[in-house]
Structure 1
Amino acid sequence: MKLARPLPHYLVQRYHGWKATTFAENRNWFRRLAEDGQRPRAMVITCCDSRVHATAIFGAESGEFFIHRNIANLVPPYAPDGEQHGTSAAIEYAVNALKVAHLVVMGHTNCGGVQGCHAMCSGHAPELEEKTSFVGRWMDILRPGYDRVVDFPLEEQIPELERQAVLVSLENLMTFPFIREKVEAEELALHGVMHDIAAGGLEQYDSAAGAFVQVL
């Protein structure tokens, strides 16, 4: 690959800083992770958004979270049709091979993917309707969520659709037979959370209340 170039200098500097501090102070732990393999407690499905930092929010150490990021933290429905499904493959590996005990879907405020879905579904982003749009076809997963918020006041639709991105994903997770089996056997717990970027807030979905509530 002739087009690949060396890392920018600032990343090289940060790497050397990490190697000299965090790695050097925890060398035995990293060796243990390498030799014994990973045993994460939880899988976190979160957005690609650079402002969402799940490991920092929960104070997680290396080896604690199995993390999958995609546009708008979406999970597609179970569809074993032979096509490539990165998100479904990550979920299968985390649940069946790593045997995580918790699966967390983490949404966030000011999500560009959700805003794009809203624009597409409301007819304001025809480019996302094109079959060649990877983003548009991915955001099709959230169309059922849009249908649930379309009658809300306009200013409430996108914030509610951000929450629907979490709920639709949780619903789709339960279409995976191996997830449903483990949830019903109480071997796996599903969680939905919303992160407020500006306020640093965190809400979790309370199924009994049927709503997101502040984490206290």
Structure 2
Amino acid sequence: MQDIEKFISGFNRFQQQYFNDHPSLYGNLRTGQRPGTLLIGCCDSRVDPVLMTGSDPGDMFVVRNIANLVPPCTPTASAGVSSAIEFAVCELEVERVIVLGHARCGGIRALMAPHQAQRETDFVGQWMRIALPVAERVHRDLAHRSSEEQHHACELASILLSLDNLLSYPWLKRRVDEGKLKLHGWYFDLQSGALMAYSARQQQFLPLVCPLPSAH
């Protein structure tokens, strides 16, 4: 019950901030939304993209799933994730798409060390097969590295896989080719607090926001 009370108190603060202190924001949003960014993030409760970026309502269209994956554009693609991407790109005409991965991802851990599900379903395992080629490559190329290093490499590589899969959607690729849409790969390091961004030019993740000295 403490969680419920915390959520209700939080909504009271939200209501005060956006409906009393700054009523014009929702006054404008009542007629519709025009976010400039689609963010595809993980369901992990430690990685809230709106909280992390200080976004206000209406700033960001968010899709969250296990391990922040984007399925390729195929007839059998996940309609839930693919439809949200389609709506953001084709209807809302967002200007950028950010794929936000993070350290210590449970979905990646399940992918790297799969086990037989002890239940009637295995939806997590089925979903994580999207990134199976990445896991296989990491196991092959980094077989001599520690489990932690392999997990980290897979977390980063899965972000790049999702960026590649985004380009398999023809209407999204057209907007990228026309210069109307930018794609970004971000990685949140839970341990240091740093935010990394993928540089296509240097083909590696570089600090976008460095960790605080006290975080080490």
Q: Into which bin does the TM-score normalised by the smaller protein fall?
A: 0.7 to 0.9
1:118 to 112, 131, 134: 112
Determine the structure 2 residue equivalent to 1:30. 26
Q: 1:204·1:213 contact (CA, 8 Å) conserved in 2?
A: yes
Distance in 2 of aligned mates of 1:163 and 1:190: 15
Instruction: Quote the offset at 1:131 in angstroms.
Output: 9.0
Is 2:160 the partner of 1:167? yes
The C-alpha deviation readout for 1:120-173, integer Å capped at 9, x for no partner, is 2xxxx1228x99310000000010111221131133110000101201101111
**Preserved contact between residue 35 and residue 58 of structure 2 (Cα < 8 Å):** yes
**Which residue of the partner structure matches residue 147 of structure 1?**
136
| Matched positions, count | 203
| Deviation of the 1:106 alpha carbon | 0.3
Cα distance in 2 for residues equivalent to 1:21 and 1:32: 15
Alpha-carbon distance between aligned partners in 2 of 1:131 and 1:190, rounded to the nearest angstrom: 38
Cα distance in 2 for partners of 1:141, 1:71 equals: 11
Identical positions, percent: 35
Per-residue deviation, residues 188-207 of structure 1 (Å, max 9, x unmatched):
11100100122210111111
Match of 2:6 in 1: 10
Structural RMSD (CA): 1.9
Contact 1:144–1:168 (CA under 8 A) maintained in structure 2: no
| 8 Å Cα contact 2:41/2:63 also seen in 1 | yes
Report the secondary structure of 1:44's partner residue: strand
Contact 1:23 1:30 survives alignment (8 Å): yes
Secondary structure, counterpart of 1:20 in structure 2: helix
Give the C-alpha shift of residue 180 in structure 1: 1.1
Q: 1-side partners of 2:5 and 2:56: how far apart?
A: 26
Question: Structure 2: which 5+ runs fail to align?
Answer: 210-216
Matched, 1:134 2:130: no
What SS does the aligned partner of 2:30 have? helix
Matches of 1:208 and 1:84 in 2, distance apart?
31
Gaps in structure 1 of 5+ consecutive residues: 1-6
Residues 62-86 of structure 1, C-alpha deviation per residue, up to 9 Å, x if partnerless? 10100000000000000134x7511
Secondary structure at the aligned position of 2:113 is classed as helix
Deviates more, 1:93-102 or 1:170-179: 170-179
User: Structure 1 residue aligned with 2:83, among 89, 106, 121?
Assistant: 89
Change in CA separation of 1:84 and 1:70 when aligned onto 2, cut-off 3 Å: closer
Distance in 1 between the 2:9 and 2:207 partners?
39
Question: TM-score with structure 2 length normalisation?
Answer: 0.88
| 2:73 is equivalent to residue 65 of structure 1 | no
